[in-house]
Structure 1
Amino acid sequence: MQVPGSNGGSMSTGELGTETVKMSTSNDRDWRVVYASRLRLTDFVVIAVVVAATQFVWFGFSASGLPQRGDIGFLAVSYTSISVALVLIWWLTLSVYGSREDRVVGTGSLEYKIVVDASLRVFGLFAILAFLFQIEFSRGYFFISLPIGTVTILLSRWIWRKWLNAQREKGEFSARVLLVGSEVSVLHTARELGRHPHSGYRVVGACIPSGKIASHLGETSIPVVGRVDHIGPAIAASGADTIVITSSDELPPEKIRELSWSLEPGRQHLVVAPSLTDIGGPRIHTRPVAGLPLIHVETPRYEGFKRYQKRIFDVISSAALILVLSPVLIAIAIVVRLGTPGDVLFRQERVGLDGETFDMLKFRSMVPNAEALLNDLHAVERSEGNNILFKMKDDPRVTPVGKILRRYSLDELPQLFNVFKGEMSLIGPRPPLQREVDLYETHVHRRFLMKPGITGLWQVSGRSDLSWEDSVRLDLYYVENWSMVGDFLILLKTARAVLGSSGAY
């Protein structure tokens, strides 16, 4: 096969075995196009309704039945014309900034950030025009349209995302992925993508060096459809529309370049997975240098304004929550005291920032001699958590009142005082016991670079149902990629996790 080069010549790709493959579903509309068209329609309806309603509520209608008019320099234009222009510009700006592209929809916070950024720029544009041309716009009209319109668009996008996630759980509205690379890297990527179907990548085949056709990848049901040096037929056989290169040892740069040329533009996509794991997007920057797409990874920093910013947020939030929840705290304290004999609060030494210990507070949810009974439970190996964390779904030490408190995480409310004192944070890694720390591998100690939290990624991702490896991975990911925006998202997810009570025991 001959592939056209950039200079009008051609390049042979027979060795690689790639060829421009027409998709078997070429007559069907791509899911990316279908979903983007639905978002376009919904965005237009939402913006039009909000702007029209704002105009009606703010101005009403004149006695003649015509909308009131605004003074725009030497012209008198009705606010209906302004509303129409606002709707069209706002709707188009969402497209220009790529808020409906498949790379941002369905997962993560980037889609929402783009919507907010585009909305602010639209109203910034109108403000600049008003200043430059001395246009007398009604400020209230825009001040109402902006926040209500932005929030409503975000709400509609959230609803669509829920629908999209439900479809992806069934294997629909997802990219059909062909993994290419070493067997180890392909298997690792396949497992990670399989654990997160909401990301929109469904693995349909794999190309590995051995190329064991008609076999399956490891213990998975993913078929091996070819070797790494013969990808073209594998694309056709699997019907893949996205090729993910998981390791480049088997594919030199020139072969990857030839592969990218051979893909059908707009229908097939090439993704290269670098050997970087658990690195947040804001820390990764791509910079082309001398034709090399260099990836810059910023090292995490835990000092300066960022740490003070987190502390200020913790102090204000914990103080407000203690004040608002004080009736609840008092009521729980009375119920615990009257329910079973013993102290209301349970104090336990935990390891915090920089390995320093502190007394973590909880409402007592177990019998007074719970610690003495722990050795007996260890002896019969009844732990249902993981190798290091001891957890039981039906722990006999938990009191009837304690079961209710644990179900909804009410036993952890006194930790707000730990946050206010500076021993903990609202969001952070799980606070471990010293006996757990003694079993840590060296890299796990990085979790002590930040204060432990009442909630965190471990809380919103399964809690006690997580394996030890997943718990460590989530804690280290948080420490390495912390941001205030991420903290706010975790707080929102915490409410859902607590109400669902999944993994709470």
Structure 2
Amino acid sequence: MRILDLLCIVLAVSGAYTLRFGSNDDAALRGQITEFSYVTVSLLLIIAWWSALEYTGSRDTKFIGTGIEEYRRVTATSLWLFGAVAVFSYVFQLQTARGYVAVALPLGVLFLVTSRWVQRKALQKTRKEGLNLHRVLLIGASSSVDHLNSKLEQHIISGYKPVAAVLTDSGAIRGELPALHGLPTVELVLDAIDRSGADTVAISSGAELDPTFLRHLGWALSAREVGMIMAPALTDVSGPRIHMQPVAGLPLIHVTTPKLEGVKAFAKRIFDIAVASCILLVLAIPMAIVALLVRLDSPGPALFFQERVGKRGKPFKMIKFRSMRTDAEAQLINLQDQSEGNGVLFKMKKDPRVTRMGSWIRRFSIDELPQLFNVLNGTMSLVGPRPPLPREVALYDNFAHRRLLVKPGITGLWQVSGRSDLSWDESIRLDLYYVENWSLAQDLLILFRTAKAVFGKDGAY
């Protein structure tokens, strides 16, 4: 990673120098006292940029291959560095060529982020093959250890492979994970590490462990260079919501709930209107052609209006290109027993009500494009929970109703995580995760991932 970072920076700075000065050897940065060649400036910038990435922890193994924190640190470090260059130039009245900086910064960030993305995909591929994994010893109550074990196994690309467990109660865990029972001692944990070859210890919730024991265990693990992780009973909580504050020697974890109101709601609304308007302007003619093809393919209107439930339970008419025969709703009763959905949502991979044109536009989610008009009139958002039918809302429990706190979206976590192949509980969990952890950065990431999901085959029927 260090070598590739250096290569990216050299390419960006060299590209900026070539584009700004060409082959002029006398290009210089002139100040009041001295004169520096831009070649020297470029060398200093390369060294400073590469060192800043190291100093700010962008290569920290805790962030490599997981989440967007790695990309955020790379971008933030680059912006801070060029901000410092601007301040330095101002203080010493150095006439820095703006074209040079304007090319080097975005080019460098683009190269670095792309390089990290490629490395991340390569790392995740090796982890799926069982390589580059931390071997983890789990400690805690059986139910908590079982939950943590299943989550780590499901998300193996994070780099943690449970290899053994020490259970503080007499319960059992699923799978074939070797487990010891009893109140753990430092000697017992170290023996389990020797037997399993673990390089990391994860302590889950539910274990009534003495603070003195945890301190002594931490010392013993540090001496062996074995990592120690505390896994609290928090699920579906994203990183930006968690803040650690030391109080009287206690690491208190603060969990905040983002509220989509005020400036944030205004920013999301402006973003929705701007993006939806641009898409409609670009796709106006193709959408008109699709509407004509729908009309020619089967009798009936080109658009289909269906009642859905929006923000705070308010019903609205969702617009789609018609992909079924006009009597589709009447035929639904006779097809209920053939549903291949998740028990609540009716889905059939080969639904006889779907027209020839409808099958094609569903395949690429083209039938959902008219929902951009729902975005413009404020009943939907570009990104949000899946817009539910009234009969689905009738089955909600108290917790599922929280998904109605925000506007439904044309796309969302459900769209990029399996679509129709998701179970009902998983669909609700993803929607609640979005509501609880909303951010504009997450919306942008979901929109980016939507393109891949649309052109993929999984869950599209």
User: What is the TM-score of this pair, normalised by structure 2?
Assistant: 0.96
Q: Which of 407, 420, 429 matches 1:473?
A: 429
Deviations 1:342-401 (A, max 9, x none): 1211111111100010111111111211111111111xx222221211112222221121
Q: Mapping of 1:102-113 within 5 angstroms?
A: 102-113=61-72
Mapped partners of 1:253, 1:264: distance in 2? 16
Mapped partners of 2:120, 2:406: distance in 1? 32
Aligned residue for 2:302?
A: 344
Mapped partners of 2:302, 2:183: distance in 1? 63
Q: Mapping of 1:147-296 within 5 angstroms?
A: 147-210=106-169, 218-225=173-180, 227=182, 229=184, 230-264=188-222, 267-296=225-254
Deviations 1:138-188 (A, max 9, x none): 111111101111111111111111101111111212221111111111111
Larger displacement relative to structure 2 (293-302 or 405-414): 293-302
5+ residue gaps, structure 1, are 1-38
Q: Which of 340, 344, 347 matches 1:388?
A: 344
Aligned residue for 1:96?
A: 55
Amino acid at match of 2:6: F
Does the 8 A contact of 1:50 with 1:149 survive in 2? yes
Deviation at 1:418, TM superposition (A): 0.6
SS at match of 1:325: helix
Q: Identity of paired residues, percent?
A: 48
Aligned residues, how many? 458
Mapped partners of 1:83, 1:196: distance in 2? 42
Q: Which of 21, 30, 33 matches 1:71?
A: 30
Aligned residue for 1:487?
A: 443
Q: Which of 39, 43, 49 matches 1:84?
A: 43
Aligned residue for 2:10?
A: 48
Q: For residues 363 and 282 of structure 1, do their structure 2 counterparts lie closer, same or farther at Cα, with a shift above 3 Å needed?
A: same
Aligned residue for 2:362?
A: 406
Q: Relative contact order, CA 8 A, sep 6+: which one is greater? A: 1
Alignment partner of 1:461 is 2:417: yes
Does the 8 A contact of 2:257 with 2:437 survive in 1? no
Deviations 1:306-358 (A, max 9, x none): 11111111111111111111111111101111111112111111111000101
Mapped partners of 2:368, 2:15: distance in 1? 45
Q: For residues 107 and 128 of structure 1, do their structure 2 counterparts lie closer, same or farther at Cα, with a shift above 3 Å needed?
A: same
Does the 8 A contact of 1:225 with 1:237 survive in 2? no
Q: For residues 74 and 466 of structure 1, do their structure 2 counterparts lie closer, same or farther at Cα, with a shift above 3 Å needed?
A: same
Mapped partners of 1:434, 1:481: distance in 2? 25
Larger displacement relative to structure 2 (231-240 or 439-448): 231-240
SS at match of 2:349: coil
Aligned residue for 2:99?
A: 140
Aligned residue for 1:375?
A: 333
Q: Which of 271, 275, 286 matches 1:328?
A: 286
Amino acid at match of 1:280: S
Larger displacement relative to structure 2 (268-277 or 72-81): 72-81
Larger displacement relative to structure 2 (225-234 or 309-318): 225-234
Deviations 1:28-69 (A, max 9, x none): xxxxxxxxxxx111000110122122212321234xxx4533
5+ residue gaps, structure 2, are none
Mapped partners of 2:163, 2:293: distance in 1? 55
Amino acid at match of 2:296: L
Please give the root-mean-square deviation of Cα atoms over the aligned residues, in Å: 1.6
Alignment partner of 1:297 is 2:259: no
Mapped partners of 2:208, 2:159: distance in 1? 26
Deviation at 1:225, TM superposition (A): 4.9
Mapped partners of 1:225, 1:399: distance in 2? 59
Does the 8 A contact of 1:350 with 1:433 survive in 2? yes
Amino acid at match of 2:330: A
Deviation at 1:449, TM superposition (A): 0.4
Mapped partners of 1:167, 1:311: distance in 2? 41
Mapped partners of 1:395, 1:290: distance in 2? 63
